[in-house]
Structure 1
Amino acid sequence: MKLPPGATGFGAYAHRSEDDLQALAAVCHHAARRTGGTVAELIPLGATPNFHTATITYPDDSIAVLRHGLLSWLALAKPTLPGQAPHDWLDRTDLAEAIGEVSDLRILTRAELSRPLTDADLADLGAAEIEQVAYWRPTTVGDVLFNLWD
């Protein structure tokens, strides 16, 4: 998966918006209603993490919906403790379909996010992003896209 400029959240691409958090909240409230869940928490991105998080809870489960801070991409993951990066990526067809009803955000699959990182994936990144990748040494595509690098 060739990553576009801005994938790390570093560099001169930044247009970070609180509107993105509000849009994520609206999308997740819709998806939660359609799938029998409740939006329990919204956490805005910051210097770290480079993504917004909405947590949808169900009677027997919780799912974190992550919205990349610069790209129109979402990921589904098991929730983590504050200060921990997501690693347990999920595929939830019902949730993805509900999100797709009200949004054109791309929902990345578990396979895409878990795939080992290659040099080809990084070919379009700028110097500042390559420097961050070299420093943090991510091993998967998901580690690059949804990170807590500072």
Structure 2
Amino acid sequence: MAGPGDGFRLMRGSTGFFTSGDPGIRRTDPRACRTAWYAAARAAGGRVGEFEARQIAQTFHTATIERPDGRCCALFQAYTPLVAFVDEPHDWYTDQFREAPAWAAGLGDFGFTVLSAAVLLSPLSSADTSALSAVERRQIDYWRPETVGAVLFNSWD
């Protein structure tokens, strides 16, 4: 899991804004997310509730696990293999991030990095944004997100 002090770097395309000529932009396959999420549900002693692939303008897929002690919700970033945890599904996120449950560490076996709440809630000014394109910087200037998580899990249009 990525934590504070890891020198978190926002990767090109992670805002959801890029041009067709941008090299190295890839999408996180919803099928890979779903496969990892089913394994996580088994590890959590629960069952997959919903899995919703990203909607237009969203930068994330949403997944839930139903457990006897309640529901758990994860966000899979659509352009980088990053995962965040929140209490409830929403259209976008600013400061609703929470720590991942211990069983979420198994998502790493599927190539995903689970982000800590500390990283997601850290000020955008503390992140390394050098890899972002000019179009991404313009969107950040326009939308004015305050946290790393708000950049990664957005619904900017």
Shorter-chain TM-score above 0.5: yes
CA shift in 2, pair 1:120/1:103, >3 Å? closer
Residue 67 of structure 1 and its aligned partner are, at CA, apart by 1.2
1:27 equivalent in structure 2: 36
1:51 equivalent in structure 2: 60
Check whether the contact 2:123–2:148 (CA below 8 A) recurs between aligned residues: yes
Alignment counterpart, residue 15 of structure 1, candidates 6, 26, 29: 26
User: Is 1:139 aligned to 2:150, yes or no?
Assistant: no
1:6 equivalent in structure 2: 13
What residue identity is the alignment partner of 1:65? A
Check whether the contact 2:26–2:80 (CA below 8 A) recurs between aligned residues: no
Alpha-carbon distance between aligned partners in 1 of 2:134 and 2:41, rounded to the nearest angstrom: 39
CA shift in 2, pair 1:116/1:144, >3 Å? same
Alpha-carbon distance between aligned partners in 1 of 2:69 and 2:82, rounded to the nearest angstrom: 26
Residue 99 of structure 1 and its aligned partner are, at CA, apart by 2.0
What's the C-alpha RMSD, in Å, of the aligned pairs?
Answer: 1.9
Residue 22 of structure 1 and its aligned partner are, at CA, apart by 1.0
**CA deviation profile, 1:8-54 (whole Å, cap 9, x unmatched):** 0111344336xx11111111111111111111101111322111111
**How many matched pairs?**
146
Provide TM-score, normalisation by structure 1. Answer: 0.86
User: Is 1:94 aligned to 2:102, yes or no?
Assistant: yes
Alignment counterpart, residue 124 of structure 2, candidates 107, 117, 124: 117
Check whether the contact 1:77–1:87 (CA below 8 A) recurs between aligned residues: no
CA shift in 2, pair 1:16/1:4, >3 Å? closer
Residue 84 of structure 1 and its aligned partner are, at CA, apart by 4.1
Aligned-partner SS, 2:124: coil
In structure 2, the gaps of 5 or more residues are: 1-7
Alignment counterpart, residue 148 of structure 1, candidates 139, 152, 155: 155
Provide TM-score, normalisation by structure 2. Answer: 0.83
The structure with more helix, counted as a fraction of residues: 1
